[in-house]
C-alpha cells in the first residue's frame, strides 16, 4: 500500500512536470509562431519599401528619358533605349551635383522679403513641385522652414500641367482653389494652376501665356500689392 501510494505520488509528480513541460512547450511554440509572424511582417514591410524605392527610381528615370526623348525629337535625332538610359542617368547625376552648389545667393531678388511679409500677414505658404528633390533645393536655399507644407514628387503621381500637385497642396492647407495664388516660371506650371482653378503669376519669362499677372522677380512686391493687382 505504501508502494502504491508512492507510485501515485510519483505519477502525480510526473503529471505535474509533464503539464509544466507542455505549458513551456506551448509557450515556446506560441513565441515561435509570433516570431515567424513578426519576421514575415518585417520582410513584407521591407519588400514593400524596397519596391516603392525601386518604383520611384524607375519613375524618375522614365521622366528623365521622356524629357530627353522630347529634346531628341525636336532636334530630329533618334536614340536606342540604352542611349536614353545612359543620358537619363547622366542628366540626373548632373542635376543632383548642381543642387549641391545652390545657396542663398541663388534666390530671386525679393523672394525672402515677400515670404516673410506673407507670413506676417498670416498667409499660408506651400511649395508644389513634381520633383522629388524639392526639399533638398529649398534646404540649400535656406528657406525650407518658411513653408507650411511641401508637396513634391513623393506625394503625387502626375507632372504639370496636371493640377494634382496644386490641388493636393490646397487640400492639406484646407483652402479652396479659388483662394490660392500660384507662382510659376514655366508654361506647364501656369497651365496646371489654371487647371486647378487658381490664380497664376508668371515669374521671370515674358512669353508665359494665360497667367493672371507677370513679374520679373519679387523685388518691391508686397502681398497687398499682389492681391490688389489680382482683384482688378
Do 185 and 111 sit in the same domain of this protein? Answer: yes
pLDDT score at 132: 84
Q: Pick from 99, 132, 152: which residue ends a domain?
A: 99
Please give the Cα distance from 34 to 177 (Å, whole number).
49
Q: What is the CATH number of the domain that holds 156?
A: 3.40.50.1000
For 1-24, how does the pLDDT look when each residue is reduced to its tens digit (9 = 90+)? 334 344 444 445 445 555 555 555
Host domain of residue 77: 2-99
Please give the Cα distance from 176 to 169 (Å, whole number).
10
Do 57 and 135 sit in the same domain of this protein? Answer: no
Query: For the chain, what is the domain count?
Result: 2
Q: Pick from 99, 114, 145: which residue ends a domain?
A: 99
pLDDT score at 19: 53
Do 214 and 146 sit in the same domain of this protein? Answer: yes
113 sits in which H/E element? helix 111-120
Do 176 and 205 sit in the same domain of this protein? Answer: yes
Do 148 and 83 sit in the same domain of this protein? Answer: no
Do 224 and 111 sit in the same domain of this protein? Answer: yes
pTM: 0.64
Cis status, amide bond into 59, omega within 30 of 0: no
Cis status, amide bond into 143, omega within 30 of 0: no
Backbone angles phi, psi at 150, to 5 degrees: -125, 115
Do 116 and 28 sit in the same domain of this protein? Answer: no
Does pLDDT of 214 surpass 50? Answer: yes
For 54-105, how does the pLDDT look when each residue is reduced to its tens digit (9 = 90+)? 444 455 556 666 766 777 777 787 778 888 778 778 877 887 788 888 898 9
Q: How far apart are the first and last CA of the chain?
A: 112
Do 132 and 187 sit in the same domain of this protein? Answer: yes
pLDDT score at 14: 46
Q: Pick from 78, 99, 120: which residue ends a domain?
A: 99
Amino acid at each position: 500500500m505504501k508502494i502504491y501510494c508512492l507510485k501515485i505520488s510519483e505519477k502525480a509528480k510526473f503529471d505535474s512536470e509533464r503539464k509544466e513541460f507542455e505549458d513551456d512547450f506551448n509557450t515556446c511554440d506560441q513565441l515561435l509562431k509570433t516570431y515567424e509572424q513578426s519576421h514575415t511582417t518585417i520582410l513584407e514591410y521591407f519588400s514593400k519599401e524596397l519596391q516603392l524605392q525601386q518604383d520611384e527610381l524607375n519613375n524618375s528615370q522614365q521622366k528623365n528619358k521622356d524629357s530627353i526623348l522630347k529634346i531628341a525629337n525636336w532636334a530630329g535625332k533618334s536614340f536606342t533605349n540604352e542611349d536614353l538610359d545612359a543620358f537619363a542617368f547622366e542628366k540626373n547625376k548632373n542635376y543632383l551635383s548642381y543642387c549641391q552648389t545652390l545657396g542663398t545667393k541663388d534666390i530671386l531678388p525679393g523672394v525672402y522679403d515677400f515670404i516673410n511679409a506673407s507670413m506676417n500677414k498670416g498667409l499660408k505658404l506651400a511649395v508644389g513641385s513634381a520633383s522629388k528633390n524639392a526639399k533638398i533645393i529649398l534646404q540649400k536655399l535656406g528657406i525650407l522652414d518658411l513653408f507650411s507644407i511641401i508637396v513634391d514628387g513623393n506625394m503625387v503621381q502626375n507632372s504639370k500641367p496636371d493640377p494634382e500637385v496644386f490641388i493636393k497642396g490646397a487640400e492639406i492647407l484646407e483652402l479652396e482653389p479659388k483662394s490660392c495664388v500660384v507662382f510659376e516660371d514655366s508654361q506647364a506650371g501656369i497651365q496646371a494652376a489654371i487647371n486647378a482653378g487658381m490664380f497664376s503669376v508668371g515669374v521671370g519669362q515674358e512669353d508665359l501665356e494665360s497667367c493672371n499677372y507677370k513679374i520679373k522677380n519679387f523685388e518691391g512686391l508686397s502681398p497687398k500689392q499682389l492681391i490688389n493687382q489680382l482683384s482688378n
